[in-house]
Structure 1
């Protein structure tokens, strides 16, 4: 048996690697990364592109001097050669995402926009329908502000913020509440509505429509890539791993 690794007093043989990966639930991640390697094998990266990508990472970490870069690489447990190899893989992976799904991104964005839009809203929740109705009338008549009443009566964590919640994406609130907010106009106050065990008073404060900026583009590219990767794993009959994103970036 061929020894391939020594950990403490234990020597790991080649025959033990796969069973150990399976036991510690690392095999799915290995399969995932191998699929990525296969997908990006034909993606080209010029020496100039690799140099620029490495330089960008160094500058991101404010590493301008060679000595500082060497110390940082050492702290990361990397040699310069390994760093460049990892950067090359990250660059090729991002290029693969852009080439494969970049042209589809705008249409995908339109299908996801309703979930990515954000809202700021105020909420009072109570389990007593009578109190909910009384508080609603007080707000409606201008006797007291929603913030004052939320701080005194609301039975959730929003009491600490005067009922104010957000900004959050519309996927965060419970679906019935999200539907109410999605059809609201800023300033619209909803009368007490039963949501599960609660009676809630809701007011939309601000609607923040999502824009297809660089951050959103990257998020959607990652979603499309991860969806594709899950399909590839399913075809192989491989189990999912907890982390769905290959660990290739610096």
Structure 2
């Protein structure tokens, strides 16, 4: 069988590669890419899109002549057709997403919005309840700023930022903290609350409502595609045992 790969003076045949793909857990990724290629096989790009993606590929790989492109192809063992499929793949996937889920984006966004809204909040966490109570009243009575006390007393990495965290999506904090902040108004100081091993004092600083702008629309499309692809992989991909040589 012909050699298809050489690594550090060791050669590998096509027959060698299957056990290696299994060993390095690369078969699932390979199966996914094969399935995606089948799904987008009928998706076409315009001549302008083909030219643009080809020029971008040459630029990124510093290929300034057709001779250099040929050398690159020979080194990779690829044909021109394979190269064109490779460099337009992302664009064809995006077209596939738009065709199949473009009309579902708004509904998906509305469903996800409560998790996508972002917050900025301040946090102090300490181990002793009596210390937490003292710090809470000092902040409430304006004796000290939240940031000053956070830098001095908070026992997490937030001490480095004066207790300030964010903007982060509402599901990023500990679930109990997220639940508290979801019902707060900006500027509201929450009394000491036990969260796991810590006693925390939190204050909501700002609430940033998620908007369905272009980046968010792309994210929603990506999520819908990924959910569908995961199900398709479960239904369409099987891993069969390699035949045992006699």
| TM-score between the two structures when normalised by the length of structure 2 | 0.83
* Structure 2, unpaired ranges of 5+: 240-246
- 1:109 alignment partner in structure 2: 109
> Residue 54 and residue 208 in structure 1: after superposition, are their counterparts in 2 closer, same or farther (change >3 A)?
farther
CA–CA distance in structure 2, aligned partners of residues 52 and 2 of structure 1: 36
* Structure 1, unpaired ranges of 5+: 240-250
Q: Which has the higher contact order (CA 8 A, sep 6+)?
A: 1
- 1:213 alignment partner in structure 2: 213
* Counterpart check, 1:39 vs 2:39: yes
Is the contact between residue 152 and residue 159 of structure 2 (CA under 8 Å) also seen in structure 1?
A: yes
Instruction: Give 1:29 deviation, angstroms.
Output: 0.9
Instruction: Give 1:49 deviation, angstroms.
Output: 2.7
CA–CA distance in structure 2, aligned partners of residues 2 and 58 of structure 1: 30
* Secondary structure of the corresponding residue to residue 205 of structure 1: strand
Is the contact between residue 121 and residue 166 of structure 2 (CA under 8 Å) also seen in structure 1?
A: yes
User: Which deviates more from structure 2 when the two are superposed, residues 3-12 or residues 122-131?
Assistant: 3-12
- 1:142 alignment partner in structure 2: 142
Instruction: Give 1:6 deviation, angstroms.
Output: 3.3
Coordinate RMSD, CA, aligned: 2.6
User: Which deviates more from structure 2 when the two are superposed, residues 47-56 or residues 106-115?
Assistant: 47-56
> Residue 237 and residue 125 in structure 1: after superposition, are their counterparts in 2 closer, same or farther (change >3 A)?
same
CA–CA distance in structure 1, aligned partners of residues 79 and 116 of structure 2: 39
CA–CA distance in structure 2, aligned partners of residues 9 and 35 of structure 1: 33
- 1:84 alignment partner in structure 2: 84
* Secondary structure of the corresponding residue to residue 194 of structure 1: strand
In the TM superposition, what are the counterparts of 1:22-33 in structure 2 within 5 Å? 22-33=22-33
* Aligned residues between the structures: 231
- 1:10 alignment partner in structure 2: 10
CA–CA distance in structure 2, aligned partners of residues 237 and 36 of structure 1: 12
| TM-score between the two structures when normalised by the length of structure 1 | 0.82
> Residue 159 and residue 221 in structure 1: after superposition, are their counterparts in 2 closer, same or farther (change >3 A)?
same
Instruction: Give 1:236 deviation, angstroms.
Output: 3.7
- 1:154 alignment partner in structure 2: 154
